[in-house]
Amino acid sequence: MSNRIVAPSPHLHGDFSTPRIMRDVVIALIPAFAFSVFIYGLNAVFVTGIAILSCMLFEWLIDRFMLRRPCTLGDWSAVVTGTLLAFNLPATISPWLIILGSLVAIGIGKMSFGGLGRNLFNPALVGRVFLLISFPVQMTLFPDTAGVDAITGATPLAFVKGALKTGTPVAEIMPNIDLGGLFLGFKDGSLGEIGALALLIGGIYLLIRRVITWRIPVFVLGTMFVFASILWLANPELYINPLFHVFAGGAMLGAIFMATDYVTSPMSKKGQAIYAIGIGVITILIRVWGAYPEGMSFAILIMNATVPLINMYVKPSRFGGNSPKKK
Amino acid sequence: MLKTFRLGGVHPHDYKISRDAAIRMFDIPATVTIPLGQHIGAPATAAVKKGDRVLVGDVIGTATGFVSANIHSSVSGTVTSVDAVPDGANLRKPAVTIAVEGDEWNPAIDRSETLVRECTLEPKEIIAKIAAAGIVGLGGATFPTQVKLSVPPGKKAEMLIINGVECEPYLTADYRLMMERGEELLVGCEILMRALGVEKCYIGIENNKPEAIGHLRQLIAADTAFASRIEVVPLKMRYPQGGEKQLIAAIAKREVPSGALPIDVGAVVQNVGTTFAVYQAVQKNRPIVDRVVTVTGKKLANPSNLLVRIGTPISSLIEACGGMPEDTGKVINGGPMMGRAMANIDAPVTKGTSGVLLMDERSSLRASEMPCISCAKCVDACPMGLEPYLISKLSRLRLYDRLERERTADCIECGCCSFTCPSHLPLLDYIRLGKAETMKLIRARQAK
């Protein structure tokens, strides 16, 4: 035996790998995808398919012709970005906008920083917010869904916001809102954000597979619930039921799948809590007082920007206490 | 709820395939090579020269200074050389080579199997005997035991903790000792308690070894002197629970502050093997001339626990256990998490050789690196609460001056970070580099 391998310890490795984690995220998104297919039919398949394929294509083109490096599609992160972008789009959006959104998500959101692991902002959200600001009409035109109650054509969040603006008291709005239906996902909204229950199932899968920890989702949703509860208890005539905030819009999708993005969330547990609380607070601020009915994407992007700072100043709990012994 | 430590840790599969192999006496080889530096600290000074006749247990190297240890002959025979000999990493280190003739022991050593229960020696005398016998931490760290037992003035030991955790996968040497030498081990605990002047001893054992927990509990319950002072503490299986600081945290819920020693929180930790060696040294006048070595590997024909004379070539142990499997990639001295892959398998067994592990070629190779995705798994896995990704990155960029603030010197090199990294980054490789540089900076400042 002349060519013995000599390397420093450890000589064992756990079974985690980046592609495995990314594949798990894709698997966890399947229940929500299945639910959108059930609601929106083939449209859901087209939008998701186009988004995934164009994200992969742009990543490959940029790798090949701009960064001139080996193809990085094997890490599966482009598939995750594509799926998440699709989940943030209306089911009937024009294919051209999907392709444009994918270009922005992959090109600007991810590859311009140097690819996987280096981006500051969640790529799928960069794509979505770009489209939302540039094409506000197309991005908020949701197809009416069969079997959904009084609120049609607008998302529950937009409906409530519009009603409150015109001075309708909450007591008159609430009968139009079915919280159980909201939770199951019978509501209008972006492709993948509607099925709160399906997203929750995916989240549990990620927890079991130890891809994510409970911290970020629980702190995001918990903060939203607590903040909204305070407002609701202060004036139930003016502010809506806190459960509505947690079930409506992109709360579940954002808390479970977007805020937990490894690259754009803090490293320490304390840091993750601060980041998640920030997302919850900003989301409710925008939803209640902002110009947009939904604030999840903006909240996540804003908190993404604070991550390097959080990482620098919020250190993990050290063994033996955080203040070193002075000698 | 079973006890365990607070921060980090990982759960590697334990692969204790040699657990049921009783300790087997290994043949005395024709020649032994006994290194003079088998411990942390200064190597011993040779006390013999070429041509000298030695008996088993004779001193062949005397401790050089306080942090050092005596070295004894493990065989009887003639010294053929006192020279530099390649070690496991092929670095030449001073060693005494002895050609074996028979098996004649130093007459002061009691070789009988009878249990000597009583010890009436003063603490100082016990420590002196331990120092004379060249005892070092046999768990692998090889820190001279008499230094650990000499409590500095102004500090007080409150408890003795015996490390029966053996959290390294594959290794079973300590487990076999607990199963086969339980009585001696418990007497060893009493001697150590006497030396330290403490009234409480905890034996930490992970719950993957229920037989050892049950066996020792039974022995303790059978003897009132043990029952009031020695307690077996079952621990939840988690690596690196056998780390000194982690074990204290698990058992006593006390964390040793950064830069401090276990004695600062009133604890002294000794490994099971060391405790058995202490019994032999104090009650039987027997220095360290042999030790239990687990020889194991998934493809090895007969994974075994062998009682081996110090200085026996490691290659001969592998031969005796069925020979080297065809596709062996690595031969590791120690366990898979902290052991060293050897370049030279003819290197001798030393006091620190707890195991010899053969890994096949496929599992010996590292997967290729991918970019860091900031998943924080290394931060969550670090038992010291450090940020491995950051320390590794700073070391890679040679920003050594920033490392001290990040508590790099606290790293225990357990390897949890590299183990858990989904991008297969060699985090610990770079952290070791950075830690060495940080220690250099700290020493330079202290020297001023």
Domain hosting A68: range is 18-139
Residue A4: which of B258, B343, B386 has the nearest Cβ? B343
Residue B415 has its nearest CB partner, among A9, A117, A311, at A9
Residue A117 shares a structural domain with residue A45 = yes
Tell me how close the Cα of B277 comes to any Cα of chain A, in angstroms: 28
Long-range contacts of residues B368-371, Cβ cutoff 8 Å, at least 24 apart: B368/B424, B369/B423, B369/B424, B369/B425, B369/B426, B370/A17, B370/A18, B370/A75, B370/A116, B370/B422, B370/B423, B370/B424, B370/B425, B371/A115, B371/A116, B371/A117, B371/A118, B371/B423
Domain end: A139, A168, A188, which one?
A139
Looking at the fold, whether A222 and A306 belong to one and the same domain comes out as yes
On chain B, the residues whose CB falls within 8 A of the CB of A116 are: 370-371, 373
Cross-chain Cβ contact A116/B415 below 8 Å:
no
**No. of H helices and E strands in chain B?**
14, 17
Q: Tell whether A174 and A207 lie within a shared domain.
A: yes
Among candidate residues A301, A12, A6, the one with its CA nearest the CA of residue B347: A6
| Domain C-terminal end among A139, A168, A193 | A139
How far is B112 from chain A, CA to nearest CA, in Å? Answer: 40
B374 to A117: CB separation less than 8 angstroms, yes or no: yes
* Residues A28 and A79 occupy one common structural domain: yes
Domains of chain B (ranges, CATH numbers): 123-284 (3.40.50.11540), 377-447 (no CATH)
Q: What is the pLDDT of residue A324?
A: 57
- A298 domain-assigned: yes
Strands B23-25 and B77-86: unpaired
CA distance readout (Å), B298 to A95, B18, B301, B361: 54, 10, 9, 12
Residue A57 lies in a domain: yes
Residue B268, strand partner residues: B160
Reported as a single tens digit per residue, the pLDDT across B97-121 is: 999 999 999 999 999 989 999 899 9
Q: For residue A215, is it within any domain?
A: yes
Which residues in chain A have Cβ-Cβ distances shorter than 8 Å to B428?
Answer: 8-10
Nearest CA in chain B to A118: B373
Q: Would the CB atoms of A10 and B419 count as touching at under 8 Å?
A: yes
The model's pLDDT over A178-187, given as tens digits with 9 standing for 90+, comes to 888 888 887 7
Identify whether residues A160 and A119 lie together within a single domain.
Answer: no
Residue A5 lies in a domain: no
- Percent of chain B scoring above 70 in pLDDT: 100
Q: Is residue A146 part of a domain?
A: no
A166 and A85 co-located in one domain: no
Q: Do A116 and B373 touch (CB under 8 A)?
A: yes
Helix/strand/coil for A274: helix
Q: Are residues A203 and A109 in the same domain?
A: no
| Helix ranges, chain A (H) | 18-40, 42-61, 77-87, 95-103, 123-134, 136-139, 156-165, 170-173, 179-184, 196-208, 215-234, 242-247, 251-252, 269-289, 296-313
How many CB contacts within 8 angstroms connect chain A with chain B?
172
Together in a domain, A170 and A309: yes
**Taking CB atoms and an 8 Å limit, are A318 and B339 in contact across chains?**
no
High-pLDDT (> 70) share of chain A, %: 94
Q: Which of A272, A317, A325 sits opposite B385 (nearest CB)?
A: A317
Q: Which residues of A touch B9 (CB under 8 A)?
A: none
Beta bridge partners of A48: none
A325 chain-B contacts, CB cut-off 8 A: 257-260
Q: Characterize the bridge pairing of strands B230-235 and B201-206.
A: parallel
- Nearest CB to A319 within list B372, B410, B422: B410
Domain count, chain A: 2
Q: Considering the domain boundaries, does residue A167 fall inside one?
A: yes
Q: Is residue A164 part of a domain?
A: yes
The whole-number pLDDT of residue A151 equals 46
Same domain for A162 and A302, yes or no, is yes
Would residue A4 count as lying in a domain? no
pLDDT per residue of chain A (327 residues) written in tens, 0 to 9: 456 889 999 999 998 899 999 999 999 999 999 999 998 889 999 999 999 999 999 999 999 999 999 999 999 999 999 999 999 999 889 999 999 999 999 999 999 999 999 999 999 999 999 999 999 888 888 876 654 444 455 788 888 888 888 888 888 888 878 888 888 887 778 888 888 899 999 999 999 999 999 999 999 999 999 999 999 999 888 888 899 999 888 899 999 999 999 999 999 999 999 999 999 999 999 999 988 888 999 999 999 999 999 999 999 999 988 775 544
Rounded to an integer, what distance in angstroms lies between the CA atom of residue B258 and that of residue B1?
28
Which among A178, A261, A164 is positioned nearest to A220, based on CA atoms? A261
Give the end of a domain, one of A73, A107, A139.
Answer: A139
Residues A130, A250 within the same domain: no
Task: Tell if the CB–CB gap between B371 and A115 is shorter than 8 Å.
Answer: yes
Residue B347, both tokens:
């290197």
Write out the E strands in B238-351: 267-271, 290-297, 304-309, 328-333, 340-341
Whether residue A246 is found in the same domain as residue A177:
yes
CB contact under 8 A, B372 and A316: no
Q: What angle do CA B431, B432, B435 make, to 5 degrees?
A: 85
Residues of chain B with pLDDT under 70: none
CA pair distance B222, B107, nearest whole angstrom? 34
